[in-house]
């Protein structure tokens, strides 16, 4: 299996040390399925004070990330990995979703640029950025946390990372529906019992129950998703007969 290479350009490389050395990401790196390259933007500053930002032309609040350090950092990565797609993490961009995570998981390499302050110099955006991504319609202090989300969402979709490929197929969003409710031992928790069908041992009945529950959960919480999938006649019957008020 191929190794996925993700390069991250940031002014705070230390923020990634703990998240990338725990749980699934740690195991993926140990198995050689994931390789992370952290690049400190300040290392590419030619300013004696290693500044990477400056006041915006035309005035305005805050500072803007300077063009040269970012450009040099991106060029450095591209010399090593010319096939690496350069992605800027910025609010207001195309939202990260399951389909985008799958698309990135099929690549051999990509680079995440973590914005800060009021954003980056527009000339870098126009000349060096291939795509922009956002993890939600809200503002973070910088792109670092968003980069961690992208790395996690993408890595777990790579073959061999989770071990059980069936678990990926059944996850929320993998088939367009939210995942059905899950139960485990004890069967009776403080008088609240797990559904009888799940302990019936009848695979056909269990599968039918799971599909129905996934449909109902999606209809209640994310009805917009139902417009994007092909519903069976049975799916439609279930939805028509359910009162969601």
Feature table: binding site for S-adenosyl-L-methionine? 115, 135-140
Task: Give the whole-angstrom CA distance, residue 179 versus residue 173.
Answer: 7
Two tokens, residue 19: 């998240």
Let me know: does 25 contact 16? Beta carbons within 8 Å.
no
- Residue 163 sits at the vertex; the CA angle it makes with 95 and 209, to the nearest 5 degrees, is 70
**How far apart are the two ends of the chain, measured CA to CA in Å?**
49
DSSP code for 78: H
Name 122's Cβ contacts closer than 8 Å, sequence gap at least 6. none
- Residue 34 sits at the vertex; the CA angle it makes with 32 and 40, to the nearest 5 degrees, is 125
For residue 4, give Cα distances in angstroms to 13, 124, 146.
19, 25, 18
SS3 132: strand
């Amino acid at each position: 299996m191929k190794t996925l290479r993700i390069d991250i350009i940031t002014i705070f490389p230390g923020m990634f040390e703990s998240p990338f050395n725990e749980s699934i990401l740690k195991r993926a790196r140990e198995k050689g399925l994931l390789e992370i390259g952290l690049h400190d933007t300040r290392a590419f500053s030619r300013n004696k004070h290693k500044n990477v930002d400056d006041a915006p032309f035309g005035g305005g609040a805050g500072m803007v990330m300077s063009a040269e350090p970012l450009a040099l950092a991106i060029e450095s990565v591209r010399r090593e990995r010319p096939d690496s797609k350069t992605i800027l993490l910025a609010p207001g961009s195309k939202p990260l979703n399951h389909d985008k995570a799958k698309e990135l998981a099929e690549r051999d390499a990509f680079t995440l640029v973590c914005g800060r302050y009021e954003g980056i110099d527009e000339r870098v955006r126009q000349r060096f950025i291939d795509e922009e991504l956002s993890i939600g319609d809200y503002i973070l202090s910088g792109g670092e946390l968003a980069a961690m989300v992208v790395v996690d969402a993408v890595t777990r979709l790579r073959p061999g990372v989770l071990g059980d490929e069936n678990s990926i197929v059944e996850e929320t969003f993998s088939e367009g529906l939210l995942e059905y409710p899950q139960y485990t031992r004890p069967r009776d928790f403080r008088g609240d019992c797990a559904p009888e069908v799940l302990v019936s041992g009848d695979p056909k009945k269990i599968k039918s129950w799971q599909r129905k529950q996934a449909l109902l959960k999606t209809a209640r919480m994310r009805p917009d998703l139902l417009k994007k999938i092909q519903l069976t006649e049975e799916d439609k019957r279930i939805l028509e007969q359910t009162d969601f008020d």
